Structure 1
């Protein structure tokens, strides 16, 4: 799948230029750019950002038995308030079967979206630039496990210059949490695997606490600090198990990760293994050029942790806040940082709430707002200007709530600095789509002005004339 880089159109109101740096430049300071993978404040530093109004959200959606075609699919929703289709589904692409659709991420040129399935280990590559309103499935990778040397459960698909790096959740030997990182070219060709350090094979890393479990989950980088961080979750035998059954299985509850690993971004060598007990999930890094820190939250212990560089230039991990009442296990899931490094949004699955923390002092986060989004809530994505937030509902097919509480949705809100106000909601069950999981934002303005655009946009432009 060859895709020569298209020249970007860069209107000031919509784009932040991101350099496609070569590997040798990874060690140089860059204007304070971190990353992430769902929302605009969490994209890879090697791609353009939408700093104005996004046009679409692509929702990576799990097929559900008895719902529509029952297949996993990429669902595109129009989210531009000026559009006649605002808040409506405008396109879907089914991928065949149910693969435990989970996360997705753009290539560095932002022309293709890689999406993974945690059960079948397939990777689906979508063309999202030819017409952002109508993505096309252009390639399916089916030999991920064999090529990677046994990594199972492709999770975070993250852009590096000219390549994708993918975190695993498990392995094909015991379906436990031992796993690694896998690199591919943007064209979908396997490059190499980096195994996460364990007690028996630290790979040169320093173990700073009790654990070196080898587990994986999310990945983020700070190029100017030559930093890559990975977090940890659980293996296939747990994430494919019924949630209630797992909670009542003492052995299963022992099989969760308790670590964050610091890696050398340039060499991909592990440097330190930090104790972060309770399954640290998403990692979000600060944007300020002198803000050398990132956050994660722990699902089982309901804590916010700070991973920071100290005065001596050494990286440390510190618990800095509770999320809700930890004794009630609200189950923190997705988090989102604002582009000014002042706010951290934290979702809790069990009570269906989103909470805003003031992180002006990263060592002392303070909750300043909370709101119930639904019976269950998982992902949160925020616009670059902080004015819009989007929420989806599904955690895992076997972990979602049952009955009436199994709400499946995409909801859009505006944030005025004091409260969230709902602007639209798409009921994924009612529309026969499935379970709404992870989101990425897209915009026409990211791509060449010479590329064809959809009939929908042309109609809108004619209408404005």
Structure 2
């Protein structure tokens, strides 16, 4: 980026700063069918970039099956018109449709990925998200429940700040309900366990066996659409970041408890084993791993359990990915471009056991179900990515043998005139009873 790290550090001391991220097979909804073998494709929801190709947001499909003649190549690219601040995407529970959101225009694009997994088709665009939801802005995480998609908003249309809601749709794309986050002036029956009840939102995850839904917190439109350097020098803007994780009743969608998790907790990743009643999140501002867990009395609690890198150096944790055996947590840090592996066999005492630099900047990490393949992308937000030579935009595929990451191939999204590579989802012919063409 075109600012000094010392300036960034000083800005953090004034308030807070954050980054955004998400996505992969081991972090998907438990209601969704999983690809436990070899994935055939990675769908990359990509931001359009001014002066790059057609400058439009697009869904890029890359063939990642080593047995394919097209391995390591872009096999489809579907532009959606304009730049919407493409960010996150996810499948419906039947995995036939991929929903992808735009944080700026508030549009949601729905792609058919089942008819031809190699060539997704845009089948519907939701353009009235703000009006239908009652003023929610910035559709972020899109998460599958049975017959439903729940969508976390990041902002609102009144002040474009961080107070916002969860919005529920049917798989057909029809609006169902809006659930606003609890705040100090309206806790909605939730218990405030600490200092904060800020009403901010970011990610959402569920543990159905415990009737648990969790949401984390980020920042509003006025910050995430601002130039990063400008925001760092705006003391008021730097105060407008979330410090909470909220426990919800999954079935009733009612908030139950608000936890203090200071420092902008971003992605939430829940354990898979039925005996493991806990989830992880990481804080972008304070570089910590937090554990949200059920105690011996059956109550849910939040505890910081590990540092990520050297917090004083501001590594800026972004995306995280849990392994299917609940033993590994991969953590990406944007500023130093590194991925870190934590041993979480003891969830209360994670230990970093590996790190590797992926690029000048790195955001997303996605793991195959067996943990043998990891994929990385580069972009955070259009106005927050690094500048100049450090503005690397890529999709990279690695193999993991338990000791080291080995790059298999890389696609330069700048060179290929595709844009800013952001979030990834996996596709496979086998999900739909199809054979590769």
Please tell me the TM-score bracket, short chain as reference: over 0.9
Which structure 2 residues correspond to residues 221-370 of structure 1 after superposition, within 5 A? 221-370=206-355
Q: 2:185 is matched with which residue? A: 200
Contact 1:37 1:44 in 2 (8 A): no
1:149 aligns with 2:155: no
Q: 8 Å contact 2:101–2:140 — kept in the other structure?
A: yes
1:164-203 pair list within 5 angstroms: 164-203=149-188
Superposed CA deviations along residues 146-204 of structure 1, whole A, max 9, x for unmatched, are: 00000000000110000100000000000000000000000000000000000000010
Matched, 1:45 2:30: yes
- Which residue of 1 is the match for residue 74 of structure 2? 89
* 2:62 is aligned with 1:68: no
1:419-463 residue CA offsets vs partner (Å, 9 max, x unmatched): 1000000000000000000000010000034xxx6xxx33xxxxx
Q: 2:358 aligns with which of 364, 367, 373?
A: 373
Q: Name the residue aligned to 1:440.
A: 425
Distance 1:47 1:279 in 2: 28
**2:52 and 2:158 mapped to 1: Cα distance?**
33
Contact (CA 8 Å) 1:63, 1:72: kept in 2 or not?
yes
Measure, in 2, the Cα distance between the counterparts of 1:442 and 1:248: 42
Q: Secondary structure at the match of 2:26?
A: helix
1:344/1:359 contact within 8 Å kept = yes
Q: Measure how far apart 1:80 and its partner are.
A: 0.3
Asked if 1 retains the 8 angstrom alpha-carbon contact of 2:22 and 2:320, the reply is no
The DSSP-based 3-state class of the residue aligned with 1:155 is strand
Q: Is the contact made by 2:22 and 2:267 (CA closer than 8 Å) also made in structure 1? A: no
Query: Contact 2:24–2:321 at 8 Å: present in 1 too?
Result: yes
Distance in 2, matches of 1:306 and 1:255, equals 24
Query: Is 1:77 the counterpart of 2:53 in the alignment?
Result: no
In the alignment, what sits opposite 1:19?
Answer: none
For residue 37 of structure 1, report the CA deviation from its aligned partner.
6.6
Question: Any unmatched runs of 5+ in structure 1?
Answer: 1-35, 459-465
Alignment partner of 1:390 out of 375, 379, 387: 375
- Alignment of 1:136 with 2:100, yes or no, is no
2:205 alignment partner, SS class: strand
- Is contact 2:22–2:319 with CA below 8 Å preserved after alignment? no
> CA offsets per residue over residues 212-255 of structure 1, 9 Å max, x none?
00000000000000000000000000000111111111111100
Aligned counterpart, 1:412? 397
Which ranges of structure 2 fall in alignment gaps of 5 or more residues?
1-20
Matches within 5 A, 1:116-127: 116-127=101-112
Find the aligned partners of 1:293 and 1:192 in 2 and give their Cα distance. 28
In 2, distance between residues paired with 1:267 and 1:335? Answer: 28
Shift of 1:84: 1.1
Look up the SS of the partner of 1:209 in the other structure. coil
Whole-Å separation in 2 of the counterparts to 1:48 and 1:231:
25
Shift in alpha-carbon separation, 1:231–1:107, aligned structure 2, 3 A: same
Aligned residue among 70, 74, 85 for 1:100: 85
**Are the counterparts in 2 of residues 304 and 319 from structure 1 also a CA contact under 8 Å?**
yes
Secondary structure class of the residue paired with 1:165:
strand
CA distance in 1, matches of 2:29, 2:278: 16
Point out 4+ residue stretches in structure 1 off by more than 2 angstroms: none
Matches of residues 422-441 of structure 1 in structure 2 within 5 Å?
A: 422-441=407-426
Contact 1:37–1:105 (8 Å) recurs in 2:
no
Preserved CA contact (<8 Å) 1:37 1:43? no
Cα root mean square deviation, aligned = 0.9
- State the distance in 2 between where 1:377 and 1:410 align: 10
